[in-house]
Amino acid sequence: MSTEASPIATGMDLIKDEASRLPDTPGVYRMIGEDGEVLYVGKAKSLKKRVTQYAQGRFHTQRIAHMVHQTRSMEFVSTKTETEALLLEINFIKSLKPRFNVLLRDDKTFPEILIRRDHASPQIRKHRGAHTIKGDYFGPFASAWAVNRTVNSLQKAFLLRSCTDSVFESRTRPCMLHQIKRCAAPCVDLIAPADYSALVDQAHDFLSGKSRQVQRNLSEEMTEAAEELDFERAARLRDRIRALSTVSQDQSINPQSVEEADVFSLFSEGGQACVQVFFFRAGQNWGNKAYFPRVDRQDSDEDILDAFLGQFYDSQPVPRLILLSHEPPNRALLAEAFALKTGRKVEIARPQRGEKLDLVQHALTNARETLGRKMAEGSAQGKLLAAVAEVFGLDAPPERIEVYDNSHIMGTNAVGGMIVAGPEGFQKSQYRKFNIKDTELTPGDDYGMMREVLRRRFARMVKDEEAGEPSPRPDLVLVDGGAGQLAEAIAVLADLGSDDVALVGVAKGPDRDAGLERFFLPDQAPRMLEPKSPVLYYLQRLRDEAHRFAIGTHRAKRAAEMIKNPLDEIDGVGPGRKRALLHAFGSAKGVSRAAVTDLEKVEGVSAALAQRIFDYFRRA
């Protein structure tokens, strides 16, 4: 009588077989389960020794044993060094998101301040993303709000322009920012190029850590102006000094011994963890952000922080100093990998005394308090989602709720918006906007717009699922509208073979009164909820957030249309030629009035292009 091998024997036997053929060299291994799912990604100084440990059955945690149970195959990549293996492991974890790895769930880049250097009159602005523009980058800042606040203060202090190049080139008189003393107006030559360059250099020095020297120099200039009885100039300098003081005073912590560092503190409890990250640049606190990585109850704090650091700096700039609350097992290896990435030495330390320890302890207090709030909110959120499941007859509390709304004005600049919510609240990284593309739609056709949005969203989901790629599937879909909108949603999902998704239409009450909403479900009579029901309040919040997102997207699109330069629509007129035309004629209106012979005189404009520009402004 034959017996089927147990899962643990199957997993261990397979791993033992793989280990017998592996080299004693650094590399990365992937453990793969049923249907090709990557369960775990790890790196090793010796692939043979590391994989052999799994085959011996001595597991540190029940989670590792469970992982071995499910392993059905393994894949390996050899590397020259353990550092290369670490970098490759990080890339695999971020792209594959294995179930048994500690996972950083929010890896978007942080905003920075950019002083552009590709223009004679450099612009100061907020920037996010790759450093593709020539200039000086300062950051990261923990939030867009922190960047905007700092940029506003720096404009008051250094009078640098924030306008786009097209606006700069088209100005014929100073804008409002000059009137309120936030710009020196280099666009109309109210400041000499050398003097404007001096302001740019001062801003650069201030953001580079020389803030005290900059303020001292301005103070000396103010005193000198006052002694010369030039009180108007002295008053301007006084206002600039106040603006710089605001930047420093807005920071809750300004360490004296730390010029540039990131501070990481981790607190874990009940199978959840919070990592607080504080950014210090130029001796100033540029904000903090809380992260909640996916962890297991049996993961140690040291291992969590070790995995978190590698994934965090895969997409973020690395400072010269990293301060930690726990000692990561791979500290030396991480420092070597970061040095390889930056081309300079990176110090990773766990301070034991002094101001640096105070910074870590402050971050740890924030991590503990933030995790406590999240766990309390999560408990309440779980009860709400359970109540939502009961109200709408779902099999289980929804993990992912998608809410859809449209926005337009008389059919123009039409957009659709999708927001996502779940056990952790609003998941803003999952929000999506949809520019309505169907040219055959009647302007203002809300049904048609909802139909297009849902078809595009769920057709993509079906395509990804057919290709075997992970794609988020909602447990509940809310559409803004009554029976008509719900019917459109049902038809779209049925056509795509996804009619197992729960759908609900949310119709506003009479006169759009909150509390009198009606909820439409397939094959059921419309229903209302108790006016003071917590579920009703929650669904109102979801609907209002979807409406806010759709309206905001629509307004941004409409604003972009309003400032659109007609030169952008002419074939053959790129950024360089547009800049030359605006410089020659002052504005798009000036270009529209120019004769063909005058247009031909502009650098880069051929006779054929001049005729095309001329004809464009005189078309019927």
Question: In the β-sheet with 135-138, what is the strand arrangement from edge to edge?
Answer: 124-127, 112-116, 135-138
Residue 17 has what pLDDT?
Answer: 85
Residue count of the chain, please give it.
620
Query: Domain extents for the chain?
Result: 7-96, 112-249, 261-373, 401-561, 566-616
- Chain mean pLDDT for the chain: 85
| Domain spanning 401-561, CATH architecture | 2-Layer Sandwich (3.30)
pLDDT, tens only, 466-480: 776 777 889 999 998
Hey, which residues does 116 pair with through a beta bridge?
Answer: 135
Give the domain 261-373 fold. Nucleotidyltransferase; domain 5 (3.30.420)
Helix (H, G, I), strand (E, B) or coil at 188: helix
pLDDT value at residue 385: 92
At residue 519, does pLDDT exceed 50? yes
**pLDDT value of residue 248:** 58
At residue 267, the 3 state secondary structure works out as: strand
Report the range out of 185-194, 208-217, 238-247 with the highest average pLDDT.
185-194
**pLDDT exceeds 60 at position 570:** yes
| CA distance linking residue 349 with residue 324, whole number of Å | 6
**What is the dotted CATH code of the domain comprising 566-616?**
1.10.150.20
CB 281 within 8 A of CB 139: yes
CATH topology match: 261-373 vs 401-561: yes
CATH architecture, domain defined by 7-96: 3-Layer(aba) Sandwich (3.40)
Rounded to two decimals, the pTM is: 0.61
CB 432 within 8 A of CB 419: no
